[in-house]
């Protein structure tokens, strides 16, 4: 374990992306290293079989990006991640198994500072597709600014999910808060949801870009930290004060003519499912100027079309400021479209939402 703080990894910039691969499986270390080394502009500088070895090799090689297995002996991925972010912060992409425990640990890793994650292949038959995802996410991670990976606030450990939090039907004067996020989103959502007052006269709807199998764990974590009851959206749900509905991973969430939730697996929009624009544009006809929208950290442009429609309908649009975004993509697109009423750093987003709700 590293006793002193190592130098922070410099941004990869235009040079080769130097990667440390950490996995207790010799097959996975070999496979990940092979695919990364074959990708243009990427070099695996070392590999480690557990977290303790990883910390030693980070100090020695100063990699730009670390791929880190969640489940390892001696020192697991979460323990190693905490040490990395405390002593040698740099972009980390987690490798996770698609199990209940794996999903819970992956969501925790994302709130601790990991940039992104990849689900391990279920069999050797789909290794190639997963490795392509690893390559893409390592490239994206290398563009992240190290200073934005640190946790924005110290938060209490989540409590067990609660089902007895007060909820009620919307009144005509109540608002609907929509929050959209992508890369870096779980940690940002944790900050925002923990900051919202439990008595806020507003329903909440959340879309986080995430595959199937992981959003339930995210909802449970947010529920344990928030005054809101947070859960995955189910068909037939309607927005309610005190309730935050999270789009299930792998499904588009839309609200029908009666403002009831529907789920579908129509093709991805802008490469993602769930898509922010899909949900947001379905909410506008029902709530118009009563909508308060916050677009948080993430790559790409998802959320811009929906925010534009909200702006045109007289709703309120908030974009996260560049200074706190893990990736300043989606909020930048909203700001450059000229539809953001407020641009605020992450610690101020909850207050900005509350001001908009109570105005």
Catalytic residue among 209, 252, 311, 316: 209
Q: How far apart are CA 51 and CA 78, in angstroms?
A: 9
Q: How many residues does the chain have?
A: 359
For residue 1, the model assigns a pLDDT of 30
Q: In what order do the strands lie in the sheet with 65-69?
A: 42-48, 17-22, 65-69, 92-96, 116-119
For residue 8, the model assigns a pLDDT of 41
Collapsing DSSP to helix, strand or coil, 66 comes out as strand
Q: Which residues contact 52 (CB under 8 A, 6 or more apart)?
A: 1, 74, 75, 80
Structure-token pair, residue 224: 């344990």
Q: Which residues contact 331 (CB under 8 A, 6 or more apart)?
A: 295, 296, 297, 298, 319, 320, 321, 322, 325, 340, 343
Decide: 203 and 299 in contact? Cβ < 8 Å: no
For the chain, list the strands marked E by DSSP. 17-22, 42-48, 65-69, 92-96, 116-119, 168-169, 175-181, 202-208, 229-232, 240-241, 243-246, 252-255, 261-264, 291-295, 316-320, 342-344
For residue 161, the model assigns a pLDDT of 61
Each domain of the chain, given as residue ranges in start order, spans: 17-149, 168-358
Decide: 57 and 20 in contact? Cβ < 8 Å: yes
Domain 17-149 and domain 168-358, same fold? Reply is: yes
Q: How far apart are CA 331 and CA 171, in angstroms?
A: 30
- Kindly report the CATH number that applies to the domain delimited by 17-149: 3.40.50.2300
For residue 150, the model assigns a pLDDT of 63
Q: Is-catalytic flag, 252?
A: no
For residue 4, the model assigns a pLDDT of 31
For residue 153, the model assigns a pLDDT of 45
CATH superfamily to which 168-358 belongs: Methylesterase CheB, C-terminal domain (3.40.50.180)
Q: How far apart are CA 290 and CA 271, in angstroms?
A: 29
For residue 97, the model assigns a pLDDT of 77
- In this prediction, the residues of the chain whose per-residue pLDDT falls under 70 are 1-14, 98-100, 149-163
Q: How far apart are CA 256 and CA 216, in angstroms?
A: 23
């Amino acid at each position: 374990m590293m006793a002193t703080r190592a130098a922070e990894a410099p941004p990869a910039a235009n040079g080769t992306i130097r990667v440390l691969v950490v996995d207790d499986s010799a097959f996975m270390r070999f496979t990940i290293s092979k695919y990364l080394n074959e990708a243009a502009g990427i070099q695996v500088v070392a590999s480690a079989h557990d977290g303790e070895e990883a910390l030693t090799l980070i100090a020695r090689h100063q990699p730009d990006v670390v791929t880190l297995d969640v489940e390892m002996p001696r020192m697991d991925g979460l323990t190693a991640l905490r040490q990395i972010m405390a002593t040698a912060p740099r972009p980390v992409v987690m490798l996770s198994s698609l199990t209940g425990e794996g999903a819970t640990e992956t969501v925790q890793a994302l709130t601790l500072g990991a940039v992104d994650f990849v689900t391990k292949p279920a069999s050797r038959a789909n290794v190639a597709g997963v490795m392509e995802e690893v390559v893409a996410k390592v490239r994206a991670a290398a563009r992240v600014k190290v200073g934005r990976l640190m946790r924005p606030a110290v938060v209490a450990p989540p409590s067990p999910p609660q089902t007895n939090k007060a909820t009620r039907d919307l009144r005509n004067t109540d608002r609907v808060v929509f929050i959209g996020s992508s890369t870096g989103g779980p940690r940002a959502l944790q900050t925002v949801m923990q900051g919202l007052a439990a008595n806020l006269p507003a329903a909440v709807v959340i879309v986080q870009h995430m595959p199937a199998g992981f959003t339930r764990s995210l909802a449970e974590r947010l529920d344990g930290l928030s005054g809101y009851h947070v859960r995955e959206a189910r068909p037939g749900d309607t927005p309610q004060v005190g309730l935050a509905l999270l789009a299930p991973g792998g499904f588009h969430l839309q609200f029908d003519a009666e403002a009831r939730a529907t789920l579908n697996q129509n093709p991805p929009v802008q490469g993602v499912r769930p898509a922010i624009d899909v949900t947001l544009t379905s909410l506008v006809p029902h709530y118009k100027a009563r909508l308060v929208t916050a677009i948080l950290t993430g790559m790409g442009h998802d959320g811009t079309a929906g925010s534009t429609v909200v702006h045109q309908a007289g709703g309120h649009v908030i974009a996260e400021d560049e200074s706190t975004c893990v990736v300043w993509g989606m909020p930048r697109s909203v700001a450059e479209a000229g539809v953001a009423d407020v641009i605020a750093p992450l610690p101020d987003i909850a207050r900005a939402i509350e001001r908009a709700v109570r105005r």
